[in-house]
Amino acid sequence: MRCFGRFNHRRVMKVSMNSLQEVVQYLKDEDDFIVVGHESPDPDSLGAMLGLYFGLIQLGKSCRVVSADPVPAELSWEGLELIEHIPSGFAAGDSCVVVVDCEPERTGSIKEGVINAKRLVNIDHHRRGRGIGDIVYVNPDEAATSIIVYRILRELNVSFDNKIAAAVYGGIVGDTGGFRHANTTSEVMFIAGELLQFSIDPAAIAREIFSSRPLGFLQLLGAALSGLQTAQHGRLAWMTVSHRQFAEYGVDPKSSDYFVSFVRMLNTAEIAMVFREISPGQIKVGLRANHVDVGSLARHIGGGGHRLASGATLSGDLHTVAAQVVKLAEHFLITGELHEWHN
Ligand SMILES: [Mn+2]
């Protein structure tokens, strides 16, 4: 849309973000909420959802928590059972929808109902434009959306308890890779330390997120890793997982986001990639890096995410798509430039 200047107010879309204070005020003023996270919910998305849910309930508001995809089976945090799994037919009615940890377009099969909500709030930490919503707060400097929720709950004078602490702590653990990623700042540790003063079980939370998977998952991971490929003397590493393989090992493709962490373990890898055929002809690309800006790479191919952790969904033949993206990534790694892209 073209901006016609200050005399034509109706033509001017709000492009700047709202402040955290404006989010807090909006939440105070509304009474009826539905909190929604992204498709294939991860610990940060779930921690932010539950933290906000418990906080709003404590303030006497009515609130539901809704997800298009089921909650990962390995997690057992208090409150996860309250999340309504609504794969289709979601309508917000008169409730204010709060989307956390993604843009409204990434809420999966319920996105139409989310986008069409009468009132929409969006809280996120992925680098992106403002996007839609009456109130939009996006802060890519925050390690986790759960930390943004922590700050909101503090501003709302919510008193923290064990279940809020466990959810927010779990979200932080998830998005910092168990305090191993570059986003692990002293501020993050300070907040985590404060949450640990509650009666929560950090060992169980970490084990459930990173180290507790069914047999089929490990066997499929092994099969996929045995096909690990590299280029540029190992600076680029990737593997593919076909839809047939997921079926063969009885693994839900949605539960395999974590595969890319194992590719990243290759000691020479500067860019790590996993190509997963999540449904026939639909390829999910996961990208990780230690220094290279794979966020730009993902945005270039229609995806998004953070500078060092990003992803995209492409359609086509698994091996053709993989070859195309590998070529793009190889060129990017050597020249720092992104050549023209058609999928
Ligand atoms: Mn997140």
pLDDT at 134 over 50: yes
d(Cα 81, Cα 306) in Å, to the nearest integer?
29
Same domain, 77 and 177: yes
Structural domain ending residue among the three candidates 179, 210, 241: 210
Same domain, 95 and 220: no
Q: Give me the pLDDT at residue 2, please.
A: 37
Locate 253 and state its tokens: 């493709």
What's the domain count of the chain? 2
pLDDT at 9 over 50: no
Q: How far is the CA of 144 from the centre of ligand 1 (A)?
A: 5
Q: How far is the CA of 140 from the centre of ligand 1 (A)?
A: 10
Residue ranges near ligand 1 (ion) with Cβ within 5 Å = 44, 101, 145, 175
Same domain, 77 and 52: yes
Q: Give me the pLDDT at residue 8, please.
A: 38
pLDDT at 20 over 80: yes
341 within domain boundaries: no
Same domain, 83 and 178: yes
| CATH code of residue 257 | 3.10.310.30
Q: Give me the pLDDT at residue 343, please.
A: 79
Q: How far is the CA of 175 from the centre of ligand 1 (A)?
A: 6
CA 326 to chain centre: 23
d(Cα 164, Cα 150) in Å, to the nearest integer?
9
Mean of the per-residue pLDDT values of the chain: 94
Q: Give me the pLDDT at residue 13, please.
A: 57
Cα atoms found within 13 Å of the Cα of residue 276, Cβ hemisphere only:
23
Structural domain ending residue among the three candidates 176, 210, 244: 210
Same domain, 162 and 220: no
pLDDT digits (tens, 9 = 90+) for 241-291: 999 999 999 999 988 999 999 999 999 999 999 999 999 999 999 999 999
Structural domain ending residue among the three candidates 185, 210, 235: 210
pLDDT band of residue 127 (cuts 50, 70, 90) is: confident
pLDDT digits (tens, 9 = 90+) for 157-198: 999 999 999 999 999 999 999 999 999 999 999 999 999 999
Q: How far is the CA of 342 from the centre of ligand 1 (A)?
A: 28
Partners of residue 121 on adjacent β-strands = 98, 135
The range of the structural domain enclosing residue 176 comes to 9-210
Q: How far is the CA of 247 from the centre of ligand 1 (A)?
A: 28
Partners of residue 272 on adjacent β-strands = 237, 288
pLDDT band of residue 143 (cuts 50, 70, 90) is: very high
Q: How far is the CA of 257 from the centre of ligand 1 (A)?
A: 13
DSSP E strands, 162-306: 229-231, 236-241, 271-279, 282-289, 304-305
Q: How far is the CA of 46 from the centre of ligand 1 (A)?
A: 9
**Residue type at 248?**
E
pLDDT digits (tens, 9 = 90+) for 191-234: 999 999 999 999 999 999 999 999 999 999 999 999 999 999 99
Q: How far is the CA of 126 from the centre of ligand 1 (A)?
A: 7
Locate 262 and state its tokens: 């194992």
Q: How far is the CA of 52 from the centre of ligand 1 (A)?
A: 14
